[in-house]
Amino acid sequence: MRNILVTGGAGFIGCNFVRYLLEQSSGTEVTVYDKLTYAGRLENLKAVSERFGSRYLFIQGDICDAEKVEDAVAARHIDTIVNFAAETHVDRSILDPDVFVQTDVYGTYVLLEAARKYGNLRFHQISTDEVYGHIEGRRRSVENDALAPRSPYSASKASADLFVSAYHITYDLPVTISRGANNIGPFQYPEKVVPLFVTNALESMPLPVYGDGKQMRDYQFVADHCAAIDLILRRGRIGESYNIGTGAEMTNLAMIEILLDELGKPRSLIQHVEDRRGHDRRYSLDVSKTMALGWEPDYTPEEAIRATARWYRDNRWWWQPIRDGEFKDFYRANYAGRKKLEPQ
Ligand code: NAD
Ligand code: DAU
């Protein structure tokens, strides 16, 4: 029996991962440890709790709270920690970086200490392709590239990666790190571009495209990301990092055209606005090291975008209360003062 602590398991990727784990292996128990920030929602785990109640437990807590983390690890006889817990939105990190340093850096350190104290537990860190920074030309990032983060969010995530590696080298902690490209799919908070644009389009509101919209991203379906993480947990080499993505990036404008077509909405909803500060123009991952473990994605980016658009079209019950709540304040703070640009 594996006893896994999934921190941040009430968020977008975390809740999909918890369901994936419980469905895949009957020999796994999962404890979700989550602070329930604006992005963490218990309804994301409702179906999991109903279906896998005897193998699943939820604990509300902050990863920066060392005592509570250690209590959870001890009480649940945890042997593996998978850390999804983080502040995750680049635009919020530009507006207010403080909590990113707290959670993404200090919180990761607290978890590493708990793993060390309780017998060098297996530790997996969920990281991001953003730690490599903007990638020029046709180059792809490989796992031993230097980290070159450019936003407060990615700087916090890169710092966490360095702590995780340092704990392996210094204390022999059995760690792995995965660096994922942009995830999309069910239960993503509608501040991120695909769910934001789908929900705006469903409400016939403009889609605020930063700058010329020619930035390149690799939009992968969240279930593919979860399958790769599970494989790395089981077959990854201790001390190593792994990139996860489809390996095929597209411009934001191409992504927008796909989602508008899927929803039957007009291109006239596209509104170019003042760019994000320090906007990384391109991410691009070489994913051959993860594929060599025996994984490949089921969805192309286009299939992932279409499936995501359909999920939001069919699940208004989930996102409408979010858009009617705290989200409104964030939307105003991030978008109200932004200059509109001419079509590009
Ligand atoms: P999310 O914002 O949807 O969820 C984050 C979760 O962490 C929420 O449930 C939140 O309540 C919880 N959390 C935040 N601060 C916490 C704290 N101090 N203590 C305990 N819980 C806390 O994020 P996501 O998109 O699911 O991302 C999950 C992880 O994957 C993050 O580490 C992120 O950096 C990484 N990642 C995300 C993407 C992406 O495209 N979304 C891609 C690559 C990597
Ligand atoms: O690449 C992995 C990362 O992907 C994760 O580590 C982050 O947690 C996740 O938020 C995401 O970061 P991005 O900055 O790439 O995602 P976001 O959805 O915010 O933006 C995707 C692209 O769309 C980016 O080029 C900016 C652009 N964009 C975004 C928003 C919110 C717009 O043009 N307009 C918008 O309103």
Taking CA atoms only, the protein residue closest to ligand 2 atom 11 is 182
Helix count and strand count (H, E) for the chain: 14, 13
- Measured CA to CA, the distance from residue 303 to residue 231 in angstroms comes to 23
Cβ–Cβ < 8 Å for 201, 260: yes
Q: Binning pLDDT at 50, 70 and 90, where does residue 104 land? A: very high
* Ligand 2 atom showing the smallest separation from residue 218 Cα: 1
Q: Which atom from ligand 1 is nearest to the alpha carbon of 9?
A: 9
Query: Is 231 inside any structural domain?
Result: yes
In this predicted structure, the answer to whether residue 267 has a pLDDT above a threshold of 90 is: yes
Total-model pTM:
0.99
Torsion of CA 326, 5, 45, 97, to 10 degrees: 10
Q: Where are the alpha helices (DSSP H) in the chain?
A: 12-24, 46-52, 66-75, 90-95, 98-100, 108-117, 152-171, 193-202, 222-235, 252-263, 288-291, 301-314, 316-323, 327-335
Q: Is 39 in the pocket of ligand 1 (CB under 6 A)?
A: yes
Judging by DSSP bridges, how do beta strands 250-251 and 207-210 pair with one another?
A: unpaired
**Considering the domain boundaries, does residue 133 fall inside one?**
yes
Residue 262 falls inside a structural domain: no
What pLDDT, in 10s, does the model give residues 106-152? Answer: 999 999 999 999 999 999 999 999 999 999 999 999 999 999 999 99
Token pair 């077959």 is found at: 235
Q: Evaluate whether residue 44 is within a structural domain.
A: yes
Nearest CA owner, ligand 1 atom 27: 13
Mean pLDDT over residues 257-261, rounded? 98
Token pair, residue 212, equals 């010329």
**Domain housing 79:** 3-184+221-244
Residue with tokens 């179906």: 47
Which active-site residues does the annotation give?
129-130, 153
304 within domain boundaries: no
Count up the domains in the chain and report the number.
1
Give a yes or no: residue 260 inside a domain.
no
- Domain contains 131: yes
Instruction: Give a yes or no: residue 55 inside a domain.
Output: yes
Q: Is 14 in the pocket of ligand 1 (CB under 6 A)?
A: yes
**Which CATH number fits the domain that encloses residue 47?**
3.40.50.720
